[in-house]
Amino acid sequence: MAQGVRGTRDFYPDDMRVRNWLFERFHSAARAHGFEEYDAPVLESEELYTRKAGEEIVGQLYNFEDKGGRRVALRPEMTPSLARMVMARAGALALPIKWYSIPQCWRYERTQRGRGREHYQWNVDIWGMDGVAADAELLSVLVHFFESVGLGSGDLVIRISSRKVLEEVLGSLGIEGETFAATCVIVDKMDKLPADVVEAQLADLGLGADAISRIRAVLGLTDLDALSSALGEGSAAVAELGALFALCDAYGISDWLAFDASVVRGLAYYTGPVFEAHDRAGALRAICGGGRYDKLIGTLGGKDLPATGFGFGDMVVMELLAEKGLLPDLASGVEDVVFGMGAELRGAAMQVAGRLRSGGRSVDLVLEDKRMKWVFKHAERCGAARLVMVMPDEWAEGKVRIKDLGTGEESAVPIEDL
């Protein structure tokens, strides 16, 4: 018997209602902040992703050769597609642009760990703006979303740092450019991999034991003053983070935020502020993550343009919402169930349904000969508000019988009043 591809999900109507509920809140938070929706194909050229920094996302590419011999991939993330789109209209777009999307993203792991191979990822990005005001705006979008689903700052925290922190530490050790990006990818895994594995990987990049212990010390900081002491008075990282937290104060979202130098993010292309949200209990993987990536277009052969954004998967937040009892119990959306008593009133029931539908109601018309008992059970299962019955006596008088399924009241209503 035919089965779905391993690691993919089907969305039956029950699941789809919850997905739509979540996505509608993604849309709302983005639109409240004036972001416009865009989309790109799920299939892209492989070369869009083949960076050399050892990222997990590149190693797990769902890639293949098409019938024309081209190397293509199901996108693992949206940002490179967005960069491609911005490049293609370079000069023609009025900057800054504030765009969002909810693409499905794919990965392929050979090892099976019960993890999915696809998820949806809300992406929100600002291009063409230097400065932390753009990053603060993104954080405001996040908080708006969290509040809209009933989560509070007691449930989760958005941890913030900057790639400039590591840049300054590594720069003082003479590590820059591609090696810097590769180091960030490794350092991001520091608390997930055994110490000797991480140290061996860093040693491969030319970092000795002293450098590693200096990185560990700075990454342990969760206080901007301590960071300032560690990096020195003129630190650009400290100045940037100070300005970002000050702006977030003006937004009134400081309760949701914390400085945490251990936030690095696992993608190679970040250049400035980086952040990720975690449940306060620390039981789940990151809920979302993002940051500034001012040099991505350059790596794709275009002219650099400042950019910042985040990706927000649909899976972890659903776990958190379920755990907190915040998932809604959603009905089918059907408002009226229309039922014609007997085959000779089938046509009349169609007329009634048509009239209600033209008026904007969501109407389920019972299309078969069914017993009254089935119809009542069906209306209840749909969560319908009303049962509209086309019966011989009432129809002869130009009326239908309507039962309010909330109150149980029944009345005969003239057809022209529907």
Which residues, numbered 301-360, are part of the site for a copy of itself (CB under 8 A)? 301-302, 332-334, 337, 346-348, 350-351, 354, 357, 360
Considering only residues 236 to 265 of the shown chain, the ones binding a copy of itself according to CB under 8 A are: 246-247, 249-252
- CB nearer to a copy of itself: pick between 237 and 338: 338
Two structure tokens written together for 174: 């003479």
Alpha-carbon gap, residue 287 to 139, rounded angstroms: 13
- CB nearer to a copy of itself: pick between 215 and 418: 418
Confirm or reject binding of residue 361 to a copy of itself (CB under 8 A): yes
Alpha-carbon gap, residue 402 to 418, rounded angstroms: 10
Q: Which of 209, 281, 367, 372 binds a copy of itself (CB under 8 A)?
A: 367
- CB nearer to a copy of itself: pick between 48 and 321: 48
Alpha-carbon gap, residue 247 to 137, rounded angstroms: 9
Confirm or reject binding of residue 8 to a copy of itself (CB under 8 A): yes
* CB-neighbour burial class of residue 151 (10 A; exposed 0-12, middle 13-18, buried 19+): buried
Two structure tokens written together for 367: 């299309």
Fill in the per-residue mask, 55 to 94: x = in contact with a copy of itself (CB under 8 A), - = not in contact.
-------x-xxxxx-x-x-x-----xx-xxx-xxx----x
Q: Which of 123, 140, 201, 271 binds a copy of itself (CB under 8 A)?
A: 140
- CB nearer to a copy of itself: pick between 106 and 259: 106
The contacts of residue 391 (CB under 8 Å, 6+ apart) are 341, 345, 400, 401
Q: Which of 364, 389, 395, 400 binds a copy of itself (CB under 8 A)?
A: 364
Q: Which residue has the tokens 């789109």?
A: 85
- CB nearer to a copy of itself: pick between 342 and 354: 354
Q: Which residue has the tokens 């017993």?
A: 371
Q: Which of 23, 56, 57, 108 binds a copy of itself (CB under 8 A)?
A: 108
Q: Which helix (H) or strand (E) holds 197?
A: helix 195-204
Q: Are 270 and 53 in contact (CB under 8 A)?
A: no
Q: Shortest approach of a copy of itself to residue 32 CB, angstroms?
A: 4
For the sheet containing 71-74, what is the strand order? 43-45, 71-74, 62-65
Q: Which of 98, 107, 164, 403 binds a copy of itself (CB under 8 A)?
A: 98
Q: Are 366 and 375 in contact (CB under 8 A)?
A: yes
Confirm or reject binding of residue 52 to a copy of itself (CB under 8 A): no
